[in-house]
A and B are shown apart, each in its own frame.
Chain A
C-alpha cells in the first residue's frame, strides 16, 4: 500500500494564526514525499474539528497523520482517538507543537513561521518511519503473596481476603503476630496490643482464603505483574511449595539496632542495661525487675541509641520511650524515671498531648556524650547537659531506645524479588511522594517498617494502601494492558555484552545463556529507554522512539 500522509495545521483561533504564517507552512511542506494532503482548520480539537479530521482521513484514504497544533500534553490523546475512530493505527500519527513552542514564545512572526515549518517537516519525515503498535492484553492471576506475618502483613492479608482474594501469607518464624506480640500496650491510646493483634489473627485463621505458611521463607520469585511464580521453602520439608500469584506484598518488618555497637552505653557488659525490646518483654511478663530480682527505684531511658551510626531518626523512639515511662510509673508508683535525649520528635496531631500527659512523671534531660559506668552495683550516667556542663546521675536500670533498622536478611530478599534497597538499607519505594508503597518492580509492594521506620498506625495505613493498589489493578476477569512503547532487543544485533542488564531500572531484561543475547520481557518493560541509550551495538531500541525515527526527525529539523 502506498503511503499517504495527511498534514493538518490548527489555527487555534488567533493563537497560532496570528503568529505563524500558516499558508507559508502549507507551501513549504506540500511537496514533501508521500504527503497527500495539507490543510488548515480553525480549531482541530473542537468537536467539529475532530469530525473534520476523521472525514478527511477516510475521504483521502490517508495512512499517516501529522497535526501541527498545541502541546502533546494537551491533545495528543485527542488526535490518537481520532485516528482510531477513522481506522488508522494511532501510532501512525505525530503531533507538532507550534503553539507553545512557536507562536507563544516570540513576537517575531517570521521566526515563529520558520520554526513551525522545520518542526512540521521533521514530523512528516518522522511519521514515515512510524510502525503500527498494538495494545496487548494479558491474563492475570488475582491471588497475592504476602511476605511477613507481623501487623503489616496481617492487615494487608485481611484487607485482601475481605474482597474475596486468595492470599498466601509466608512467615519466617513459627507463629504470626510479629513484634507487636511483645508489647503490652500501643501508644498513644495505651490500649492493649493483644486486643489489636489477637482479633486480627483470629479472623485470619478463620478465613479459608488465607493460606498461612509459618517457619517458611520465599525462595524464588519469577515472572511479572499479574503472573508471578513463587517457590516457598518450609523448614524441615524437602520440596519447596510452588504456586502462582499476581502481586507480592513485602511486609518483613525491621530489627532494632544492636546496642553492643555503641559500647559507651555498656550494653552486654552491665546487667541492668537493657534494650527497648527486652524492656517490652519484661514489662509484658508483668514484672519489671533488676537482675537480682529487686524492683528498680530509678530508671534512665536513653534516646537515639544508634542514631549517629544509622544516620537517620527512627521516628517512633521518642514515643515508645514515653510509653515506657507510663509502663514504669504504672507498675512501680514511686519509681524515678529520667529521659536522656537530644531532640523530641513527636510528629502529628496526637503525640504532643501524650507527651504533656506523661512529662510530669519523668525528668527530661537534654544531653550529649552520654556514657554509662557501673559503680557500687549502681549504674552511673555521665553526660554533658545542654549548656555543655558535665554532670552525672546514678540509677538502678537503664533502658536503651534503639534505632529501627532493616532485618538482616533484607538484602537477600531484595535479590530474590528484584527490589532495590534505598536509604538506610530499607526497601526503596517507587517514588518518595507519589508511590509510597509500590516499588520499581510492578506488582511488588512494600509496606510497614521494612520500607521506613514507622508506627503501627502508619504501618496499617500502608498495608491498606497496598491492598488499594492491588484491588484496583488486579481485577478478576479483567486483563492487564501493558505499556506499548517498550524496549525491543534485536536478536541479530545483540552482541551479548550485558550492558543493558546493568542499566535496566525495572529488572525486565534477562540473559539467554544459550543464545548469548539479552532478552526483554515486553510485558513488564516500562519503556524508560535506559537500555536503548546504553546499548553499544544498537540492538536495543524503544518502540516509537527508534533510531531511525529520531534520526530522520532530527535531520529534517536541522537541515
Chain B
C-alpha cells in the first residue's frame, strides 16, 4: 500500500470536534494538515452547546483550548469559508481543488474588537442562533467564536450590492477590512483525506403533528440549546415567546425516528440534559418526557438518568403524541402504555429530532468518489457499523458524517482515522532503534 506515494500532507474536511482532533493528532505526528471548513469559524456543532452530558461540563470551556491549539498550530493550514470542489487520484496521490471564498476581513490584522458591527446598517436573522437573534452583514456567529474574526456576508452587505457604504471599514482601526479580497482556487496534493463534515438535524416541520413552526413555544433541540447558552440570543434565560417564564415543559423524544429508520443514539441523553438545563434556570418547573424506549448505553449514562429522575421529572412512555394549541395553552395528546388516551397541558414543548446526514453529503461523496449508505451517511468498510474506512482507499470518515454518535465516539473515530493513515505508512527506521 502506498509504495508510489508522493505526498505526505493530509486533507481534513470539516473543523468540528472530529476534524480538529484529527488535525491536531496528525500535526503532532509531524504531518502537514490542510483543514477545510465551510463556515467562517471552527468548533462545529459542539460550540452550540452550553453543557455536554453526562458530566455537564461546560462545552465551550472544553473545546476552546483545543480550538486555540488548532489556530496556533503551524503545521495546520486552516482554510475557512472553503469547500472541496474536485478530488482526483488515489491513495498517496490525491489532487484536491478547493474553492476558498473571500472573508473580506484580514485574519492577521483583525484583533476581534467588534467595532465594525455597530456601524453596519444591515440587520438579518442569525442562522447560527437558529434565527432567534439578529446579526449584521459583517459578523461572527456568536460571542466567543474562534477565530474571533468576522466575515462579510456579501449577499446582504450594501457595499457589495453596489451601494457606497463603507461603514465597517471606517470603524476599523486596524485596516483589517479589505473589500478587494478575492475568492481563491487552491490546489493541493495530499496522501489521504479524512471526511469529518458532521450532521444536520431532522427538520421537525416534516412531522407536522408536533406543531413545530405553527405553534409558538414549540422548540427544536438546537433552538433550545441556543436559548440556554450564555452566549446565545437570550444570554441563557429561558423565556416563552410572550416573555414569561415557563412553568411546565414537555420534551418529546424520537422526533423523526420513524421517518429516518434509525435511532440517533444521543437524543435520550441530550433530552435528559435538557431537564438539567430547565431545572437549573427554573427550579420549580414541571417537566414531562415523552419517550418510547430509553436508550442510554454505557457505564456512565444510567447514573446520569437516575440523577435526572430524582429532580421529579415525569417519564411518560407514550406511543402516539400530538401537540395542539387550544387557547393559550399547549396540549400534548398521547396514548399511554395501557393504550389509554390522555393529555397534558404545558407552556413549552421541546422536540428531540433525529440526527441526519448533512444536506450536501451526497454532493461531497460524489466529488470524493465514495459511497454513502442507505441513510445517506458515509459508508463504512463492508457493513462494519463504526469503521472509519470508506469505499475508497485513502479516504476515511469520522464523526457524525459516518453515522449518528456522541462526542466520545466521534473523537475515537477521528483518532482511528489518523491511526489508519499513520499505520499505512511504513515508518522509516533510523538505525535499529526498535529492532
Q: Give the interface of B toward A (CB within 8 A).
A: 17, 21, 25-26, 28-30, 52, 54-55, 57, 62, 66, 68, 72, 108-109, 111, 113, 115, 173-174, 257, 261-266, 293-303, 306, 317, 337-338, 373, 375, 377, 380, 382-388, 403-405, 407-409, 411-420, 422-430, 433-435
Contacts and interface: CB of A to CB of B under 8 A. Distances in A.
Given A349-B262, A465-B413, A469-B415, A313 B387 contact: no
Interface centre among B57, B412, B426 (most CB of A within 10 A): B412
Given A15-B111, A434-B21, A436-B412, A471 B338 contact: no
Nearest to A315: B297
A349 B386 CA distance: 9
Chain A to chain B: the 7 pairs with minimum beta-carbon distance, closest first: A468-B419, A472-B29, A315-B297, A347-B265, A13-B173, A465-B415, A464-B416
Contacts of A436: 408-409, 411-412, 415
A353 B261 contact: yes
A559 to B, nearest CB: 31
A107 interface: no
B298 A313 contact: yes
Given A141-B434, A142-B434, A432-B408, A164 B427 contact: yes
B16 to A, nearest CB: 13
A108 interface: no
B57 to A, nearest CB: 7
B296 A349 contact: no
A138 to B, nearest CB: 14
- Interface SS majority for chain B: loop
Contacts of A465: 411-416, 418-419
Nearest to A143: B434
A54 B8 CA distance: 35
A434 B21 CA distance: 8
B387 A345 contact: no
A223 B28 CA distance: 23
Contacts of A457: 380, 384-387
B196 to A, nearest CB: 14
Interface string A468-487: 11011101111000000000
A378 to B, nearest CB: 29
A455 B298 CA distance: 11
B357 to A, nearest CB: 10
Contacts of B428: 476
Nearest to B26: A472
B422 A468 contact: yes
A425 to B, nearest CB: 9
A353 B296 contact: no
Classify the interface of chain A: helix, strand, loop or mixed. loop
Task: Name the residue in A45, A46, A462, A466 with the highest tally of chain B Cβ atoms < 10 Å from its Cβ.
Answer: A462
B262 A352 contact: yes
Interface string A1-44: 00000000000111100000000000000000000000000010
Nearest to A431: B62
A462 B29 contact: no
Contact of A469 (B25, B54, B115): B25
B434 A159 contact: no
Given A163-B424, A387-B337, A433-B17, 14 more contacts: A13-B111, A14-B113, A188-B385, A344-B295, A348-B386, A349-B377, A352-B261, A352-B262, A424-B299, A452-B299, A460-B386, A463-B416, A468-B25, A475-B30
Contacts of A315: 297-298
B61 to A, nearest CB: 12
B299 A166 contact: no
Given A349-B385, A457-B386, A465-B413, A165 B173 contact: no
A491 interface: no
Interface string A335-356: 0000000011111111111001
A312 B299 contact: yes
B383 A313 contact: no
Contact of B66 (A46, A164, A351, A434): A434
Contact of A433 (B263, B386, B387, B411): B411
A343 B293 contact: yes
A13 B386 contact: no
Contacts of B404: 347-349
Contacts of A432: 54-55, 57, 300, 408
B382 to A, nearest CB: 7
Contact of A346 (B28, B66, B263, B430): B263
Given A12-B111, A433-B408, A468 B293 contact: no
Most buried by A among B17, B72, B416: B416
Given A349-B373, A349-B375, A472-B29, A462 B416 contact: yes
B385 A312 contact: no
A230 interface: no
B300 A423 contact: yes
Contact of B416 (A14, A468, A475): A468
Contacts of B435: 166
A15 B116 CA distance: 12
Nearest to B415: A465
Interface of A: 12-15, 43, 45-46, 70, 73, 77, 141-143, 159-160, 162-166, 188-189, 191, 307, 311-315, 343-353, 356, 386-387, 422-424, 426, 432-437, 452-455, 457-458, 460-469, 471-473, 475-478
A457 B174 CA distance: 52
A360 B59 CA distance: 43
A537 to B, nearest CB: 33
A427 B302 CA distance: 17
A453 B297 contact: yes
Contacts of A458: 385-386, 409, 412
A442 to B, nearest CB: 13
A343 B425 CA distance: 45
Given A432-B300, A468-B415, A468-B419, A477 B433 contact: yes
Given A159-B419, A348-B403, A464 B388 contact: yes
Contact of A142 (B294, B377, B409, B433): B433
Contacts of B294: 343, 345
Contacts of A70: 111
A461 B386 contact: yes
A426 B300 CA distance: 10
Contacts of B62: 433-434
A307 B54 CA distance: 19
B422 A471 contact: yes
Contact of B423 (A12, A344, A452, A471): A471
B1 to A, nearest CB: 9
Given A349-B403, A432-B300, A433-B52, A467 B262 contact: no
B262 A350 contact: yes
A164 B407 CA distance: 31
Contact of B301 (A312, A434, A467): A312
Contacts of B424: 162-163
Contact of B262 (A162, A164, A348, A469): A348
A467 B422 contact: yes
A422 to B, nearest CB: 7
A351 B263 contact: yes
A166 B411 contact: no
Nearest to B295: A345
B412 A43 contact: no
A386 B301 CA distance: 24
17 contacts: A43-B174, A45-B111, A142-B433, A142-B434, A159-B420, A312-B298, A347-B264, A349-B377, A352-B261, A387-B337, A433-B411, A453-B297, A460-B384, A464-B423, A468-B25, A471-B427, A476-B434
